[in-house]
């Protein structure tokens, strides 16, 4: 369902480094759009002969089918000059855009989907953590999330207990802050920007801002792609396909509090594209 909240949100539609002057066709919320690179440095997006608003941020081009009432969110940590900024690319997934975000927020699947990398079957427990909808910024935050990980990052030498923070600053975007193995006290930033092509199909644009002086860009991209490809097989087989906003469809538990906060937040702002409202 395309509500005002859905149309007025910002969405990623391409890598700034990959835009074509000839234009490239794509979909946004089921509507055809064309994304153009530009010689003068200002890319354009058109839909039905109308020029759409654009923002260039985090290495991606963002647009909206409506009239966004606020600027695209920022990630201040990404401005640190020592960080490596990684445009991972795009992964097309046959799933609801909201399912893609929700999966990113789910810690409990790590031992079983990312076995021996982000989780271990011998350490499946999710400890209590804090979740809140921060009204002052209108974002979902989960903090004090701790989890044992055999290979938390490309730069991790072995198993460590990783601390996470999750942030949902926009309905189809999520940002993960996690323990940075080479720099205690700093956070690695891994974001997932999701372009809703339709309610059941999306392009996922992962992006990272890391402290890692040892790995090559190719190695960092391969690590993140490995993780996301493992997620894709799960995402494409979820039932129901759309994200239920009624808990009778699934039975959330305490480990799912971030997902529940995300669904509550979507419900409060009537963001329903890719959602299933009533249990069937």
Which residues make up the interface to another protein (CB under 8 A)? 245-248, 251-254, 256-257, 260, 263-264, 267-268, 277-278
Give Rg (Cα) of the chain. 18
CB of 10 to another protein, least distance (A): 25
| Residue whose CB is less far from another protein, 129 or 205 | 129
* Residue 193 token pair: 């920007």
Question: Which C-beta is closer to another protein: that of 239 or that of 278?
Answer: 278
Residue (157 or 252) nearer to another protein, CB: 252
Complete DSSP assignment for the chain:
---HHHHTS-EEEEEGGG--TT-EEEEETTEEEEEE--TTS--EEEETTEEPPEEEETTEEEE-SS--SSPPP--GGGG-TTPEEEE---EEESS-HHHHHHHHH--TTHHHHSBTTTB-TT-------EEEEETTTTEEEEEEEEEEETT-STT--S-EEEEEEEEEEETTEEEEEEE-TTSTT-EEEEEEEEEEEETTEEEEEEEEEE--SSS-HHHHHHHHHHHHHHHHHHHTT-SSSSEESSTTSS---GGGHHHHHHHHHHHHTT--TTEE-S--
Residue among 21 and 248 whose Cβ is closer to another protein: 248
- Cβ at position 123, least distance to another protein in Å: 20
Residue whose pair of structure tokens reads 């239920």 in the numeric block: 244
Closest of 120, 107, 114 to residue 164, by C-alpha: 107
CB of 196 to another protein, least distance (A): 20
* Minimum distance of another protein from residue 279's CB (angstroms): 8
Q: What gap in Å lies between CA 153 and CA 252, rounded to an integer?
A: 28
114 versus 263: smaller Cβ distance to another protein:
263
Q: Shortest gap between Cβ of 162 and another protein (angstroms)?
A: 24
CB of 275 to another protein, least distance (A): 9
How far apart are alpha carbons 132 and 260 in whole angstroms? 10
Q: How far is the CB of 253 from another protein (least distance, A)?
A: 5
**Among residues 113 and 255, whose Cβ is nearest to another protein?**
255
C-beta of 163: minimal distance to another protein in Å?
Answer: 23
CB closer to another protein out of 149 and 272: 272
Please, which residue, 7 or 267, has the CB nearer to another protein?
267
The whole-angstrom separation of Cα 4 and Cα 54 is 18
């Amino acid at each position: 369902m395309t509500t005002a909240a859905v149309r007025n949100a910002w969405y990623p539609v391409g890598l700034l480094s990959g835009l074509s002057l000839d234009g490239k066709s794509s979909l946004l919320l089921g509507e055809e759009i064309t994304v153009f690179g530009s010689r003068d440095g200002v890319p354009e997006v058109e839909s039905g002969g109308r020029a759409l608003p654009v923002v260039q941020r985090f290495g991606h081009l963002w647009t909206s089918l409506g009239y966004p009432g606020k600027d695209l969110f920022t990630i201040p940590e990404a401005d640190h000059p020592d960080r490596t900024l990684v445009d991972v690319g795009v992964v097309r997934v046959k799933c609801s855009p909201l399912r893609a975000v929700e999966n990113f927020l789910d810690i409990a699947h790590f031992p079983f989907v990312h076995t021996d990398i982000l989780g271990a079957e011998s350490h499946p427990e999710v400890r209590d953590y804090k979740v809140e909808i921060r009204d002052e910024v209108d974002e979902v935050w989960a903090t004090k999330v701790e989890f044992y990980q055999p290979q938390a990052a490309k730069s991790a030498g072995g198993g460590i207990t990783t601390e996470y923070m999750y942030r949902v600053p926009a309905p189809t975007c999520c940002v993960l802050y996690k323990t940075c193995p080479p720099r205690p006290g700093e956070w690695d930033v891994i974001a997932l920007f999701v372009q809703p092509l339709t309610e059941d199909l999306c392009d996922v644009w992962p992006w990272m801002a890391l402290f890692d002086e040892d790995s090559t860009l190719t190695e960092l991209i391969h690590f993140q792609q490995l993780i996301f490809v493992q997620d894709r097989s799960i995402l494409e087989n979820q039932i129901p396909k759309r994200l239920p906003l009624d808990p009778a469809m699934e039975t959330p538990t305490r480990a799912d509090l971030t997902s529940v906060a995300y669904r509550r937040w979507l419900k409060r702002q009537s963001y329903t594209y890719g959602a299933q409202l009533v249990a069937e």
